[in-house]
Structure 1
Amino acid sequence: MTVSIGRRNSISQFEGTSPRRPIRAAVSLGSLRAGVTVAALTLGLSGCQSVIDQTYTNDLKPSSKPQTVDEVQKNDPRAQMGAREHPRIVASYGGEYHDPKTERLVARIAGALTAVSENPTQSFRITILNSPAINAFALPGGYLYVTRGLLALANDASEVAAVLSHEMGHVTANHGIERQKREEAEVIASRVVAEVLSSDLAGKQALARGKLRLAAFSRQQELQADVIGVRMLGEAGYDPFAAARFLDSMAAYARYSSVDPDTDQSLDFLSSHPSAPQRVELARQHARAFGQEGTVGDTGRDYFLTGIDGLLYGDSPDEGYVRNQTFMHAKLGIRFEVPEGFRIDNKQEAVLATGPDEIAVRFDGVQADNNQSLANYMTSGWVAGLLPETVRETTINGMPAATARASAERWDFDVTVIRLDKQIFRFLTAVPKGSSALQSTADTLRQSFRRMTPQETAELKPLRVRVVKVQPGETITTMAARMMGTERKLDLFKLINALPAGASLTPGQRVKIISE
């Protein structure tokens, strides 16, 4: 179903918004199951149900000739470029995330911004990606993407609007054409890797590693998108200071994670959108054109919290869960633990773990050939530098297994493979040459790998963002104690609620917690 708004004053849902241009552009939430298209400020559609959560004046009538984004874009070569790359982008980020409530929220925000776009004829297709990574980016032709991880970190609608308006700025300024050239070069590079390593998987992984570079623009383009984005925020009636505020939140997340934002893919947005202090201050300067901080614009916090209540947080069931030092996958029925001090990073292509002194672990699974012994599989050529004389067949918690050692210029490796049903699970542990930690690390992984019990499988549930009201007598400490999935409950609670040092809670205040 598509509904067209004929007059700007026929919708009254955006408290504090004041679009200043005729509404001509179209926006589509690409992740809506039925391919719903939303024109201008027409939001809140799912499948073929009626428009909901909105109040219209009596002169509003559905269009007899609804215009879809696909029709608007059909002769746009830039949109064809975006459409060509869209399936790969969605696949590399774990698919689309579907939740009607959250989709309506994003459509509502995007619709307000579309109405004040630099190019009112530009159409946009927004997709929510099913990824815990914190990222948003754009492809040529108006393809916009935001991850559920970014939605979970944001604290109000204006912060999400700040991100989307920035990406819309890239689109309307045609910044994507230059990136498309880099994207084509990245594809060529991945083919070279595949040929050199004789592995299509290696080529795919190289392409996945390149996706951050594909989202990167020049500093000049980033600053230009900042200016456009802040202006759109203010003209749409949102808090124009939200851009600087959310950059601060992401910087706080980087400190919480204690990782390098230039290399950690869970911080994709910071990797492709540098958040230098000077840039944050420039965003504040642009915002001051609308007034003083705290006195202008709507944050949209209340309807934002309603829209993300129940949002999936962290890993999805299809990729397994990380719980502190343990990885568990209910569908595969397996679990293992990493040594104390290691951090697990659950990627789509593999589970990675990093520890002190440059120790690294990779875990994945492949389909098993039941007619091939594990010793023969180990020497079949998939491990470079394998030392054949070290191959040993064994059993691990009742499952057939094999172990071996491998060596490269700077690294020593332990390789462990375990057969379970129709799959072979693989551990590759790497330490710098001469390190004494190889044996103990590999032993911890091997000995902890086992089948999950039926009770463990039944009890394993995904984590979600839950919006709750603070009750009388509750404090930041007591609320943080309700957090799940992290040992640093207080730190994460403060972070996802953007609570500064010395902050306190008041009864009735709505806050986010992470729980099942």
Structure 2
Amino acid sequence: MGGITERFRVVRRRLRGMASAWAGASLLAIGLGACVADQAAGPVTPAVVRVPAEAPRTTGRERAADADHLKLVASFGGEARAPNVMRLLTEVTDRLVKASERPDQAYAVTLLDSPVVNAFALPNGRLYVTRGLVALASDTSEVAAVLAHEMAHVTLNHATARSELELRSALVSRVVADVLNDPDTGAQLQHQSRFALARFSREQELEADATGVRTLAKAGYDPFAAGRFLTALNRSTNLKTGSGGTGEPDMLATHPGTAERITQVTRAARRIGAPGIGADDRAQYLAAVDGLPYGDNPRDGAVRGHRFVHPGLGIAFDVPPGFVLENTRSAVLGTTPDGNRRLLFDQIEAKDGQPLDVALKGSWNDALDPAGFETREVEGHPAAFALSRGKDWTFRLAAIRVDDTTFRMIMAAKGATDPDPAFRPWVASLRAITPEEAVLRPLRLQVVQAGSTSAEELARRMAVPDRALDRFLVLNGLERGAALVPGRSYKIVVE
């Protein structure tokens, strides 16, 4: 579980700049240990686009061992069971391969059972797309734009080039520090190399964008789909973080800003032709995604109404007013739209017979205010409370033992504001659930036809915890105030 101070730093970074997926997830190296997913599913054979056996391999590498592939897939929660979507991805990839700069390259496509919007490629030609990304796209051409971008990373050998740059930078720093006995200069060179690597990665992304747009158009798809998907991704990110902007740019970010990328891919598309060229194959896409699971897998925890229910842990709690939750494998994270309050819910280890206040203190890296310690029962469960005041944040903490499991609940408020008024009711809402409550129906996409209905009317049918209209608009690539076209199909989320 680690130190909570560092976790909240991660939470702040994640909730400020969660332009994941295509804008932050072309993970071209094998090391994917930082990737997590909250879904699970049984194994499904990935779709393989086949080429003649005698065709040369551009990467010069054998396919990753099945064991390594399974470990990677498991880190994202398994493979999604969605035959129609897999068929679509296979057809799209086959079409893109024929139009790519290296039609001899073989690819294997895997659909990951994760609600996170994400896609990446490995140097050996394995492509990975999450069902969260598929759900966000509005048509086949947008999914094709993502796949064309990832394929470009493979054909351009970006992973190999980056690995060589990393090794060369590390070698120079080590020689200066160890061999020449100049650790200060070695550290300075290492710091400079981080900026060089970040700049190199951003240049790779822009290069993959340009190549991807050309491949997209050559395959007969709408080249403007790349810009549309990046726009949807940006809107989805802002919706999730509750902000109206993308935050300050990070000089060490491995991807360019989304606005810059939208400008670049739109410019590349205009060089090919005017808007309206190429196919979007929207009907094919909607037929494939109808019924696709949406959001968190219920057995791993999900928000239903104003409650968070986790059948696997056998608990539930009320979502504090104003908070938007993100459910990960190791913790439930939350933030308010203004970013001034955060929360975290996870488990901590407590030895047999260890007092809860000792266990809570041992799980926290920063100093605790002695005046904030308190032990009492919460809904019949033993609990310990603590207070921590940092330079920029004030934290309220609690450890609660439910049966044999110790849960930790933390709420932070920016500055000297005490989060206790919202923290106490949140803690008091934690309770064990009944077997009947543990049965949650998964959310899924449903494709419906619009009659004389408005976007607001369809949004009211959405089974989402908040901002139903905004979510409906983002899912369908619509702007606020846009009129629905009678007889046209749209996606909604239902239980």
User: 1:72 and 1:422, CA in 2 relative to 1: closer, same or farther beyond 3 A?
Assistant: farther
CA distance in 2, matches of 1:253, 1:94: 22
Aligned to 2:441: 461
Are 1:499 and 2:483 counterparts? no
Q: For 2:437, what is the secondary structure of its paired residue?
A: helix
Letter aligned with residue 443 of structure 1: R
What CA deviation, in whole Å up to 9, does each residue of 1:327-370 have, x standing for no partner?
22122221112432222222222111123573221110246544
User: For residue 399 of structure 1, what is the aligned residue in structure 2?
Assistant: 381
Aligned positions of 1:236-247 closer than 5 A:
236-247=219-230
Question: Residue type of the partner of 2:280?
Answer: T
Long gaps (5+) in structure 1: 1-30, 42-65, 186-212, 265-269
- Alignment of 1:249 with 2:232, yes or no, is yes
Paired position in structure 2 for 1:420: 402
Query: Taking structure 1 as the reference length, what is the TM-score of the superposition?
Result: 0.72
Kindly state the Cα deviation for residue 320 of structure 1 after the two structures are TM-superposed. Answer: 0.7
How many corresponding residue pairs? 423
Aligned residue identity for 2:283: D
Aligned-pair CA distance for 1:502: 4.6
Residue from 57, 60, 67 that aligns with 1:76: 60
Evaluate the alpha carbon distance shift between residue 332 and residue 215 of structure 1 in structure 2; reply closer, same or farther with a 3 A threshold. farther
Unmatched runs of 5 consecutive residues or more in structure 2: 1-40, 169-195
User: Whole-Å Cα distance in 2 between the matches of residues 106 and 248 of structure 1?
Assistant: 21
SS in 1 for 2:438: helix
Choose from 132, 137, 149 the match for 2:115.
Answer: 132
Q: Hey, what's the Cα distance between the residues in 2 that align with 1:276 and 1:500?
A: 17
Counterpart CA distance in 2 for 1:75 and 1:154 is 30
Q: Output the amino acid matched with 1:121.
A: D
Partner of 1:476: 455
Report the counterpart of residue 49 of structure 2 in structure 1.
Answer: 39
In structure 2, C-alpha distance between the alignment counterparts of 1:273 and 1:168, rounded to whole Å? 19
- 1:32 deviates by 9.3
Shift of 1:476: 2.3
The residue that corresponds to 1:47 in the other structure is: none
1:102 maps to what in 2? 85
After superposition, where does 1:213-362 map in structure 2 within 5 Å?
A: 218-257=201-240, 258-259=242-243, 261=246, 272=255, 274-277=257-260, 279-294=261-276, 296-323=277-304, 325-355=306-336, 358-362=340-344
C-alpha contact 2:462 2:472 (8 A) present in aligned 1: yes
> CA 1:91/1:262 → structure 2, altered by over 3 Å: closer, same or farther?
farther
Q: Report if the CA contact (8 A) 1:73-1:79 is conserved.
A: no
Report how far residue 507 of structure 1 moved: 3.8
State the percentage of identical aligned residues. 39
Give, in whole Å, the separation in 2 of the partners of 1:482 and 1:400.
Answer: 41
Q: Greater relative contact order: 1 or 2 (C-alpha under 8 angstroms, separation 6 or more)? A: 2
In 1, the alpha carbon distance for the partners of 2:255 and 2:312 equals 33
Q: 1:229 Cα shift?
A: 0.8
CA contact (8 A) 2:331 2:346 kept: yes
Query: What CA deviation, in whole Å up to 9, does each residue of 1:159-218 have, x standing for no partner?
Result: 000011011111111111244468899xxxxxxxxxxxxxxxxxxxxxxxxxxx999963
- Change in 2 beyond 3 A, CA 1:288/1:383: closer
**For the residues of structure 1 that align with 2:359 and 2:87, how far apart are their CA atoms?**
50
TM-score by length of 2: 0.75
Q: Hey, what's the Cα distance between the residues in 1 that align with 2:214 and 2:67?
A: 31
